[in-house]
A and B are shown apart, each in its own frame.
Chain A
């Protein structure tokens, strides 16, 4: 009995260390205990520690950049084109091969077996594939092509902002500290711009930290909050407030022990971990509208492999991570759209080292309940030399902006798309229902 009471006491005390709980009960206890000398702002902070809801459930667009240029012809292979086998004698795969299990989509295209985990979403009509997509600028430099795709202005490097930052500006409502979040160390080019965007590689780091001394960290946090509360510099004052608010929100969830829903299992990879963190944020209803993650390792100049090998392994991680994320989203699925992108595709022919070099068009995936899926959107003619760009690359037949603008407009319900892609007046694709 005595022991039980003590345990209970212990538990309660522990709970009180939790910041919000502490603030409320602490201030009350203070009153009850009646000792003075406590700064006013603590009392004020206790009052204002409720999470104020500008934070509500939003539509979220998750953009995944496959850096290095994914080989679209291997991921979603136009296997029925007889030219492919000639161009890629050792890299060619087809659904007819018993071993390997390429997944025939429509008699013309087949998914690489590593995309198995995403294939059912295609069949169910929630995932669409756009093939032959890329930039009108024919640069084959990773740097330039990524820059153009992320700024959204394929012929103008001087554009200071990224297209996703502009998208946030076009939603027509107030941004929150979490409106745009990138799970990366540095802010990606896509999110450069005037609207607040957060780059954070690990949500757990979003706190005032004093190694080995959490109590001192708490005290420092409160000191900082007090100082930023009174600074005459408006920007520091406002951002300070937002920071501490964001910190409190994150603290209110046990991020470390986040349990994915529906038995979803994320691959234990950087990319899987990124998507897991995005899922965490979505479920916290912090007002996130745009999330950004990266997947690397697509620059397959050497020994690309087929059913197995570097490409297959990387693609499996990619596919399984997205599939786990989608499963984990559960009831949030209606709010979420995932769109992938890569700077360009790879040569139609294989090179001398069992790989492929920098090419032009690739393919991308769009996953969401409001997608008109189950379809490979494309205007690809053939892989005959005369149909290839410079006689060697799958030409770009769909401008990436035609996809991006449709998905952003349709999913995020932008008030307008004017200014999203300056200088572009092309026709958007129709991927999103309604």
Chain B
């Protein structure tokens, strides 16, 4: 049915002699009117789902330019971001490649090693009993060598995400980057991959968020962050000609003996070698980690129809997929650098950016994956072929369709919608842009059931509050800290599943209270480095009463929603903002009927903590705004 309709539309377009390059990207038609939504309501819904939150006045803008045009523009992601770009220019790591990052942003252990190597500090002066001294040693190495701690890199990563989410005009691109990063999750909690995460988002995720799924899959599969995070870099096989030749090589044995001799050396260098030897030992075999997750989490889904045998066979196909050595002065880096193209080829090595394929560690036997036979002689290309096969599998189409429907439409999307998206995936080779369009073209995207049904994640919540209040974010890291408190420490989710996209994962009692506290803290200017100008937000008009403040800010912060019931409840609260005071005084009075005027005043002072401006503060705009942001309605999108 869907297919027929889209063909009909296509032929209609074709018959009017307007031939689009891609039939899917030019047929945005949003059936919101059929769902009984006004243009404004539809614009609000669109912004709720495809941006990090509605800015004041934005609904009118979108209505004015046309909803379809807005989405088209977002899909092209071509709106200039001059101001944002200027701020991002401060983050030097954004401009560095992995090799530069790995040699500039170091872990404490790497800094110490570097210091000893460059004779900045002495091995025997090391101490981890004296933390202060250890810190001093680190600082000394950093000063002398110019390297920086890896935390600084993480800070830049986090900050750029916050700033882009708040300020980018190309919101859909940011939303999709967030979504796909989480789909192909890697984590800063894993030491071996932490230095690569900056480039991972920038180079493996971001360029592909409007493209075809299989390209993103391949980019993530080959990126050092993923290769380390899910251990594929350690997964090796000796089942190939080169390894067999090497095994018979007596020289290798001699080398090993020399290494053993050095292991007994108790100097720092000996220790480093020992660790290398341990690392080498770790790499002596198949590691199925990535192979399993790529099927379970990235492509087919846990019930996608693969077996443990398929996992093992896929792992074998991906043996030898590893990371190009990048650490300056490291033995592996020196070795690779000195090889010319002919030598690389002879050793069976392929270097593609930061990716290194090691033919000498690749399993060259035949494999059968999902019923398809792979001869084992194609080397690197074999893995690429299998990943492409996974990307085009019907289970993958369905899995990705479902995941996108859950993120952008509803926690429980309809089968009809999933089917439509699955079809689009299959017809467009997994084109993400086409899937977004198919989504808004589907009536279920606009159904009343879907409206405001999604609960914002803590990050979405915080960013939407900053956007709704036109906040000035000078210290984005503070926003990250709040997100952590509310349960979403972005970039630090340990499991490869990524953050679950389910409301009940986000909403628990501790996290919910912190959402309310975030609202209050933001509005009352208690978040360092984050400022809001509430007066300006209300067109420089100071509300004359609490009622008025409530009405005005409800409309600004929660446009196109029915806020009546909330306003009614809150009005009672703010109008009698000092009701608590009155009650307490009255209660005291009831207990002591003889209290005179002076006594009453005294009681009031005790109750209110002697705050002269108590009444003024309690009814202030800030509090009203804080309450609206912390309210249940603002948690929904």
- Interface of A with B (CB < 8 Å)? 6, 9-10, 12-14, 16-17, 22, 25-30, 32-33, 35, 37-39, 41-42, 140-144, 147, 151, 156-158, 160, 177, 185-187, 189, 192, 194, 196-200, 206-211, 213-220, 222-224, 226-228, 230-231, 233, 235-237, 239-240, 242-243, 246-247, 300-303, 305, 309-310, 313, 351-353, 357-358, 390
User: Are A240 and B617 neighbours in the complex by a CB distance under 8 Å?
Assistant: no
Nearest-CB distance from B633 to chain A (Å)?
A: 7
Q: Which of B553-594 contact A (CB under 8 A)?
A: 565-566, 569-570, 572-577, 579-584, 586-592
Q: Does B336 contact A (CB under 8 A)?
A: no
Q: Taking the nearest CB of chain B, how far is it from the CB of A320, in angstroms?
A: 18
Q: Are A309 and B588 in contact (CB under 8 A)?
A: no
Answer yes or no: B39 CB below 8 A from chain A CBs. Answer: no
- List of A residues within 8 angstroms of B500 by Cβ: 160
The answer, among A141, A220, A246, for a CB contact under 8 Å with B626, is A220
| Residues of chain A within 8 A of B189, CB atoms compared | 143
The answer to whether A223 and B573 have CB atoms under 8 Å apart is: yes
Nearest CB on B from A413, distance (A): 25
Q: Would you call B503 an interface residue if the criterion is a C-beta within 8 Å of the partner chain's C-beta atoms? A: yes
CA distance A227 to B550 in the complex (A): 14
Main secondary structure of the interface of A (DSSP, over half): helix
B508 with A39: CB separation less than 8 A: no
B503-524 vs A, CB cutoff 8 Å, 1 = contact: the mask equals 1100111101100110011001
User: Judging by beta carbons under 8 Å apart, are A237 and B632 in contact?
Assistant: yes
The interface residues of chain A lying within 8 Å CB-to-CB of B636 are 233, 236
Residue pair B497, A29 in contact (C-beta under 8 Å): no
With A and B bound together, what is the CA distance between A390 and B267 in angstroms?
A: 23
* Given A186-B484, A213-B617, A220-B520, 15 other A-B residues pairs in contact with their CB atoms under 8 A: A29-B588, A32-B586, A39-B572, A140-B278, A143-B192, A157-B292, A196-B509, A208-B520, A210-B623, A214-B609, A219-B580, A219-B618, A239-B508, A240-B632, A302-B127
B485 → A minimal CB distance (Å): 7
Residues of B within 8 A of A227 (CB): 566, 569-570, 627, 631-633
Contact (Cβ within 8 A) A210 B607: no
Pick the residue among A194, A243, A352 that contacts B274 (CB under 8 A). Answer: A352
Query: What's the least CB distance linking B620 to chain A, in Å?
Result: 8
Whether the pair A352, B606 counts as a contact (CB closer than 8 A) is: no
Q: Are B576 and A38 in contact (CB under 8 A)?
A: yes
Most buried by B among A9, A194, A223, A351: A223
| Alpha-carbon distance between A27 and B583 when the two chains are bound, in angstroms | 8
CB nearest neighbor in A for B189: A143
Residue B271 is within 8 A (CB to CB) of chain A in the complex: yes
Kindly list chain B residues whose C-beta atoms are within 8 Å of the C-beta of A309.
Answer: 129
B115, CB-defined interface residue at 8 Å: no
A39-B573, A143-B190, A185-B484 as given contacts; A177 in contact with B520, CB under 8 Å = no
Chain B hits for A177, CB < 8 A: 508-509
| B128 lies within 8 A of A303 (CB) | yes
Closest-by-CB residue of B relative to A151 is B495
- Contacting residue for B606 out of A13, A144, A210, CB 8 A: A13
Contacts of A216 in B (CB 8 A): 617-618, 623
Q: List 20 A-B contacts (CB under 8 A).
A: A13-B588, A22-B583, A140-B282, A141-B190, A157-B230, A158-B293, A160-B497, A177-B508, A177-B509, A185-B485, A185-B489, A200-B510, A214-B609, A215-B618, A216-B618, A219-B618, A231-B633, A233-B455, A239-B509, A357-B274
The one of B512, B569, B627 that contacts A220, using a Cβ cutoff of 8 Å: B627
B589 near A220 with CB under 8 A, answer no
Contact A236 B635 (CB under 8 A): yes
Query: Which of B109, B230, B289, B575 has the largest count of A CB atoms less than 10 A from its CB?
Result: B289
Residue pair A26, B583 in contact (C-beta under 8 Å) = yes
**Closest-CB distance, B450 to chain A (whole angstroms):** 13
A243 — which chain B residues lie within 8 A by C-beta?
509-510, 512-513
- Residue from A16, A196, A197, A214 having most chain B Cβ neighbours under 10 A: A16
- A236 with B510, Cβ < 8 A, contacts A192-B495, A352-B274 known: no
Q: How far is the CA of A310 from the CA of B602 in the complex (A)?
A: 57
Q: Are A194 and B513 in contact (CB under 8 A)?
A: no
Report if A30-B586 is in contact (Cβ < 8 Å); known contacts: A157-B292, A303-B129: yes
Q: Verify B590–A32 contact, CB threshold 8 A.
A: yes
Q: Measured between C-beta atoms, what is the minimum distance from B515 to chain A in Å?
A: 10
A158/B296 in contact, CB under 8 A? yes
Instruction: Tell whether A223 pairs with B584 under 8 Å between CB atoms, given A235-B503, A353-B268.
Output: no
Docked complex Cα distance between A250 and B623 (Å): 24
Whether B566 and A28, one on each chain, are in contact in the complex, defined by CB atoms closer than 8 angstroms, is: no
Q: Is there contact, CB below 8 Å, between A302 and B520?
A: no
Q: Check B583–A219 contact: CB distance below 8 A.
A: no
Contacts of A192 in B (CB 8 A): 495
What chain A residues lie within 8 Å of B626 (beta carbons)?
A: 210, 220
Is B494 part of the contact surface with A, judged by Cβ < 8 Å? yes
B191 / chain A contacts, CB cutoff of 8 Å? 142-143
Shortest Cβ distance from residue A281 to the other chain B in the assembled complex, whole angstroms: 13
